[in-house]
Amino acid sequence: MRKISSWSPYARRRTGQFDSRSGFTIIEIIIAIVLFLIFAGIATFSLTQGLQTKNSQQTYLELQQNLRTALQQITQDVRAATKIGPWNNPPSGCNDIADACSKQDKLSVMVTTSRFSNVIEQTGSTYTNSTQTGVCDARGFRRGDLVLIRGGGSSDLVKLSRVRRTRDYSQPCTLTNRDVLYHNQSPISGVWANNTYAYQVRLVTYQLIPDPLNSSRTVLYRRVGDEATPSAGSGIVAFDVDNLKLSYGIPVNPSAGSSSVQRLRFYNSLSAAAAALGSGYSDDPNGSGIYVGTVVRAVRVTLTGTTPVPLRAGGSPGQYELTETIDLR
């Protein structure tokens, strides 16, 4: 009789055994693939949403930090400014981007350095279109410096053309033993008063300018130096700033003196403040009357910024506004 081998399919069917290597059916494979794709899609969506949220939060935090840093820089400069308060240059009209003035969208201040000297001139004598000023100590002053000559209620900003150091510092400062600051391009006129000083200063101006990389946006720019020649320290303070708004707080009764506590009235510019206070005040530091910058007791600064990209897909960019009142009293 012929014997059937145990390995044949017929033999396995007769013994009721099946091949374990027969694998999954096509339907089972399709179901597994579909489930895998569903879970992979859910995981990818969750990861993408998480990254978008993190990036949006980071972008918004960077905007906030930029505005805070900018406001801190403005605060430092304003508080380091001379006692004449915010600076104004109305003869220029304050219309050009390089003009130094203080109005609603621009702030200029004279920031003092550590260098100053007594002015040694004949008290009570009149000077007209003078191009030189005698001082007790010109060490530290140099050609090209901006110098604020202040005394007797008047303030003159000059640019040094030359410095002469001839004083014998071992002897008292006198009209014949002194140094001289020359300012040929900045003649001044007035009457020499007692306790007049020459302060080495830096003219600092804040304003918005077009973003160098994207002209449709603006940045906050800090210019150091006079209108014609910005110097070291000039540069962009913060990107993505849409609005710079300034106002200047002046006591309701400025003549009462700085020692009295008064309610402040805020004006959008020094020119507006001078006009409101009357003919006894001027928005020109070199003009007649009291320069209105000297009675400013606070500067209110508002910065508004917008993120460069939307915070979420299909959404709008984020906005942030920061306001601080800088007390000058």
State the pLDDT at residue 259: 57
State the pLDDT at residue 262: 79
User: Is residue 215 assigned to a domain?
Assistant: yes
User: Is residue 305 assigned to a domain?
Assistant: yes
CB 181 within 8 A of CB 160: yes
State the pLDDT at residue 298: 94
Cα separation, 249 vs 305, whole angstroms: 24
State the pLDDT at residue 141: 96
CB 242 within 8 A of CB 305: yes
Q: Can you tell me which residue has the tokens 């003196």?
A: 257
Number of structural domains found in the chain: 1
Print the domain residue range for 183.
Answer: 61-327
Q: How many CB atoms lie within 10 A of CB 277?
A: 20
Contacts 24+ apart (CB under 8 A), 231-237: 231/202, 233/202, 233/204, 237/69, 237/70, 237/73, 237/206
State the pLDDT at residue 59: 81
State the pLDDT at residue 105: 94
User: Is residue 15 assigned to a domain?
Assistant: no
User: Is residue 180 assigned to a domain?
Assistant: yes
| Exposed / middle / buried, residue 67 (Cβ in 10 Å: 0-12, 13-18, 19+) | buried
Question: In tens digits, what is the pLDDT along the chain, a chain of 329 residues?
Answer: 444 444 455 444 445 554 555 567 888 788 878 787 887 777 776 666 655 665 667 888 889 999 999 999 999 999 888 778 898 887 666 766 668 889 999 999 988 888 999 999 999 999 999 999 999 999 999 998 989 998 887 788 899 999 999 999 999 999 999 999 999 998 999 999 999 999 999 889 999 999 999 999 999 999 998 666 677 889 999 999 999 999 999 998 887 765 556 799 999 999 999 999 998 999 988 777 888 998 999 999 999 999 888 877 667 888 999 999 999 86
CB 271 within 8 A of CB 88: yes
User: Is residue 142 assigned to a domain?
Assistant: yes
User: Is residue 263 assigned to a domain?
Assistant: yes
User: Is residue 138 assigned to a domain?
Assistant: yes
User: Is residue 245 assigned to a domain?
Assistant: yes
CA distances for 50 relative to 44, 61, 86, 247, angstroms: 10, 16, 47, 42
